[in-house]
Amino acid sequence: MRRWLRRARDLRVTLWTLIVPPTTWAAHFLFSYLWAAISCAKLGAWARFPTAFAIGTVAALLVIVIAGLIAWHQARTPGAPAPHDEGTEVDRLRFLAYSTLLLSGLSFIAVVFTAAPVIILSDCR
């Protein structure tokens, strides 16, 4: 566990890690859509508790929270105060980390938005 934490700390945010939270939202969205389309088309309706959907949603939220935590940690790397507009490695890192953190927040809300209809509607009609 501790080794993982250290490894996560060593991980540096880049353009690729910046898009991890919204990509997770996209994957969850696609999964939700396909899961609903296939279960409605092939089973007609789902009367049972949608276990697969719940697992998918929790997994997506977890990934987003972890990405956000790593970003939060890196956004607090010591250096000059915001707005991180200096041409140093630290400022670039903190800028990317802060943007990733913001995107995690947005993605978290968007995943919750997507999950809400399943809880409220719970059928295919």
Partner 1 sequence: MSLHAQDDPQLRKDQEARLRAVWKPPSGWFFRWTDVNNNRIGVWYTLTAFGFMLFAGVLALIMRTQLAVPDNDLVSANTFNQLFTLHGSMMMFLFAVPMFEAVSIILLPQLLGARDLPFPRLSAFGYWSFLLGGVFVGGSIFFNAAPDGGWFMYPPLTTRTDLSGIGADIWMLGLSFIEVSSVAAAVELIVGVLKCRPPGMRLNLMPLYAWYILVVAVMILFAFPPLIAGDLLFEMERLLGWPFFDASKGGDPLLWQHLFWIFGHPEVYIVFLPSIALFAMLIPTFAQRHLLGYPWIVLAAVGTAFLSFGLWVHHMFTTGLPKISLAFFSAASEAVAIPTGVQIFAFIATLWAGKVKWSVPLLYASGSLAIFVIGGLTGVMVAIAPFDWQAHDTYFIVAHLHYVLIGGTLLPLFGGLYYYWPLITGKTLSDRLGRIAFWIMFVGVNLTFFPMHLSGLEGMPRRVFTYPADLNIGWLNLASTLGSYLFASGVLVLVIDLMLSPTRKKAPRNPWNAGTLEWLAHPDDEDWGIRSVPLIESRYPIWDQKDFVAKVDEGRFFLPDAEEGRRETIITSVLDAKPVSVIRLGTPSVKPMMTAVALGAVFILTTYHLYLLAAFGGVATLGCVLWWLWDTAAIPEKHEKPIGHGIDLPLYIAGPAAPGWWAMFITMMADATAFSGLVFGYYFYWTIHPNFGADFAGPGTYWPMVALLLSLASWVATVAAREVHSRGAVSPARALLVVGALAAIASLGAGLRSLDGLDPQANVYPAIVWVLVIWTVIHAAIGAIMQSYTVARSLAGRMTPAYDADLRNITVYQHFFALTALIAYLTAGLFPEAGL
List of residues contacting partner 1 (CB under 8 A) = 14-15, 18-19, 22-23, 25-26, 29, 32-33, 36-38, 40-42, 83-87, 89, 91-92, 94-96, 98-99, 102-103, 106-107, 109-110, 113-114, 116-118, 120-121, 123-125
Residue among 6 and 33 whose Cβ is closer to partner 1: 33
Q: Please state, in angstroms and rounded to a whole number, the distance separating the CA atoms of residues 83 and 81.
A: 7
CB of 97 to partner 1, least distance (A): 9
Q: Please state, in angstroms and rounded to a whole number, the distance separating the CA atoms of residues 42 and 36.
A: 10
- List the alpha helices (DSSP H) in the chain: 2-10, 15-18, 20-38, 51-75, 89-121
